[in-house]
Structure 1
Amino acid sequence: MADVRPELGEQGWRFFSGLHRLLLHLAGRVPDEWLNHVRAMLAAGDLAQIPDTVSGAVADLGVPLTTGQVALLRETVGTFFGGREPMRIEQVRISDEIPAPSHRFFPVPADVLATDAARIPPRLDLSGRPGDDLWDLPPALAALDDLADRLTDLEDSSPVSVLRGNEDVLSIARAWRCPPEAGVRVVLVEVAAGAAAWDIMRTVQQALQRHGDSGAQVEVFWTGEDLSPYHRAALAGSALFRRPSHAGGGTGGR
């Protein structure tokens, strides 16, 4: 595993990892396009602009942050701009509770649910497939062979392909988030502690964009960390593409 903390330094790691966690906690509570934009800013190293971008947006939307997240925004701005406060930080609501998601998550696309919902388990384990192709179903799912080419699509292959060989990646799953009616693709990637989660997010996001899904949400989290209700729900309603490589891993055990 490539531990990025020595390269970034203690303060750099605290800023990058803290802002990454903050954006994870905003998933499902802010517009998807905005979240993708700010995550791209983090991956590009644009730390100086992120606190104003976040504080201004959550103030507008009425989305609360925790006391620790507000402190992180203040520390980040203070590091780059002296004693200045983040934009509209005094208008940001404070709450240490993260609400349950209003979305529902499913392991297959909406068109499959429309015709065969009764046959689809709440969570679909595709990790035991005999080959690399996602439509080569594992023996345990033989009853769904007639749906094999509808359970996943070419875009689902993107994260599996682009992350193949990355030793920091422990598991990969995908859920469809509803509403809207057609669903939003949510890719969930569990990575080792010390991995640059923001870089892995960018790698997957760019691969999905190249395959035509610019609206997909890519959630990259460190193994062993507490997940938000949103991510727990997404994992519970996901299709597992790559099983955790350690016992009791986050995607397999949560």
Structure 2
Amino acid sequence: MNPMTKANLFPSPSWPTVPVKDEASAYPVHRIFCVGRNYAAHAAEMGVEVDREAPFYFTKSALATEHTGAVVAYPPGTSNFHYEMELVLAIGKPVFRSDRATAQKAIYGYACGLDMTRRDLQLDARTKQRPWDLGKDVEQSAVLASITKATGLATIGPQRIHLEVNGETRQEAHLSDLIWKVDEIVSHLSHYYHLEPGDLIMTGTPAGVGAVVAGDVITGGIDGLEPIRLTIGAAE
């Protein structure tokens, strides 16, 4: 028997999905790439310089996907759990080693997302020059609203991006503040990966990140996109 055809030892989860506005079918999530330090004011509040030579990335497991409206338990191993409001790109066609124009055409749609972060673990790893996995690749930490097709958002730039905690505004900027624009990000990343439908890219967060505790309600939005909401539950 070909070992590749053997039955699984245990049930394997199916790909998580994200609803698409005005579509009956959902978008399956295969990979999640995240751009670091893509707003100058956020880099400054984190005490670091912006690298303007090229974007840099970290990743989250697709199984970290959670839907807007969820209640997520305060995660283990942290006492400094942070929100990060982000524009998310959904890839809709294969793209590899592309120029910016081709990269733009590969974007299927856009969504609001939250990159929830164990900030204390991220900063400890940064200080020790270690990977950020414990701080960033957290269960239920890639919170996503419904995807709006790219045709419904003709130009990326003037839109306001914002986040509130218990109704109080904590983050507010415009997508024009992105250091690396959406077509630049997709083009650059496509020189390192064969990007495919199912790949999401979280494009970075504005200044104003901060901690949340059990009972807090996070809301956020980007002009023209479906808004996002998350409630922080008690620790398990």
How high is the TM-score relative to the length of structure 2? 0.25
Instruction: Choose between structure 1 and 2: higher strand proportion.
Output: 2
Instruction: Choose between structure 1 and 2: higher helix proportion.
Output: 1
How high is the TM-score relative to the length of structure 1? 0.24
